[in-house]
Amino acid sequence: MNILALVGSPRLEGNTDFLVDQALAEAAELGAETEKIILSQYDVKPCLGHDECSDLDSCVQRDDAAWILDKFCKADGVILATPVYYYNVSAQLKVFMDRNYFLYTHKRKSQARVVGMIVVAEVEGLEDTAQALKRFIKESFDVEKDSILEVHGYASRLGDARSNGPLLRQARELGRQMVESLKVNG
């Protein structure tokens, strides 16, 4: 089984990145193959909105989104992780979500059987952000509600998540539950 994490924070080794590492480390210890893609490290251009995707064999944008979306579709489990930026996902994750529109118009969804969400805010906006992510998940995966696992919590400065024991444990638990869910669902 493999679990792919897409990290929306551009802050390397920041709170989101750290929590993702915890979830993936736990999953790896339990036998999963894991991969982390930090979206800001790649060329993922915004959707151009021409709305002609369904007439095309591939997206007109030539960048890293194609191979990232391919991995997104093929992974057994996917983690979507983001800091809260103005009550929503980060721009990096939103651009990726929009690029999934090409697949949406071709009726292609991720085959992942379990989805993890990791959302980190300084003070507020967790619920709005989680809602936005859940709507994306509903359109982009064929998973039941109980296969969508969430970790959200508060952290602000670099290193805050590292010293937040309960949040750290929740992230590890997310990794464990994703592996358990994949074992149960074949």
Residues that bind ligand FMN (CB under 6 A): 9, 11, 14-17, 83-87, 120-125, 155-156
- Shortest Å distance, C-beta 86 to ligand FMN: 5
Rounded to an integer, what distance in angstroms lies between the CA atom of residue 180 and that of residue 161?
25
- In contact, 38 and 18? CB cutoff 8 Å: no
Rounded to an integer, what distance in angstroms lies between the CA atom of residue 168 and that of residue 160?
10
Rounded to an integer, what distance in angstroms lies between the CA atom of residue 84 and that of residue 67?
26
Rounded to an integer, what distance in angstroms lies between the CA atom of residue 182 and that of residue 147?
9
Nearer to ligand FMN, 124 or 142 (CB): 124
- Shortest Å distance, C-beta 164 to ligand FMN: 10
* Nearest Cα to Cα of residue 40 among 90, 102, 99, 103: 90
Nearer to ligand FMN, 41 or 156 (CB): 156
Nearer to ligand FMN, 11 or 176 (CB): 11
- Shortest Å distance, C-beta 82 to ligand FMN: 8
- Shortest Å distance, C-beta 15 to ligand FMN: 4
Nearer to ligand FMN, 67 or 86 (CB): 86
* Bridge partners for 82 per DSSP: 119
